[in-house]
């Protein structure tokens, strides 16, 4: 009848295989990511950088900010500017600057007009003379601290007057 479905029979012998289109290999082009800088310190055009592989012995002075990621031995005098010691930086020097930020290692006295900041990865052995000092938990500091007050003349760190200087030794806290 009209409404009845008739089974469809396929003669398998008469059917020929249908050729498949040729397989085209897929080309894989991995994206190349730009190399990321090792240091977590932003670098701008107004800042000079002493790279990780550089070793400098002598006196450094200038009128711009300076970041040290390598090694320096001598003196640093950048009055009115910021000195940053990177995480891989190692400095053995007497330092004079407006501001000093330490992520690496410093052996020597530091005299600043604004602030000294020692971060967790920082290691400082020497005396500090500054109006403001910040030492993050976990940082290492061994030396004397003298806080400058506004309107008071800057004393010299080389004076041996220990009555006004308080020896301080800080070490990382150990949780129990």
CB atoms within 10 A of CB 57: 10
Residue 13 scores a pLDDT above 50: yes
pLDDT of residue 171: 46
Angstrom distance (rounded) from CA 73 to CA 111? 17
Tokens in use for 86?
């990177």
At residue 164 the predicted structure's pLDDT band, cuts being 50, 70 and 90, is very low
pLDDT of residue 150: 72
Q: What is the pTM of this model?
A: 0.61
Angstrom distance (rounded) from CA 14 to CA 65? 86
Angstrom distance (rounded) from CA 159 to CA 149? 18
Domain assignments of the chain as residue spans, ordered by start? 47-149
pLDDT of residue 47: 76
Cα dist from 120 to 92, 132, 136, 141, whole Å:
19, 17, 5, 11
The percent of residues in the chain predicted with pLDDT above 70, rounded, is 60
At residue 165 the predicted structure's pLDDT band, cuts being 50, 70 and 90, is very low
């Amino acid at each position: 009848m009209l409404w009845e479905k008739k089974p469809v029979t396929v003669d398998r012998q008469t059917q020929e295989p249908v050729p498949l289109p040729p397989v085209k290999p897929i080309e894989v082009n991995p994206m190349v990511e730009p190399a990321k800088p090792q240091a977590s310190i932003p670098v701008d055009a107004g800042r000079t950088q002493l790279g990780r592989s550089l070793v400098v012995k002598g006196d450094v002075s200038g009128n711009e900010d300076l970041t040290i990621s390598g090694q320096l031995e001598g003196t640093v005098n950048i009055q009115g500017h910021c000195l940053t010691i990177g995480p891989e930086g190692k400095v053995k020097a007497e330092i004079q600057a407006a501001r000093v930020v330490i992520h690496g290692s410093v052996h020597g006295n530091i005299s600043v007009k604004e602030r000294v900041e020692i971060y967790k990865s920082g290691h400082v052995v020497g005396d500090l003379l500054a109006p403001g000092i910040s030492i993050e938990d976990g940082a290492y500091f061994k030396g004397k601290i003298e806080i400058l007050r506004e309107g008071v003349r800057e004393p010299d760190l080389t004076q041996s007057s220990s009555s006004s200087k308080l020896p301080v030794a800080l070490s990382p806290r150990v949780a129990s």
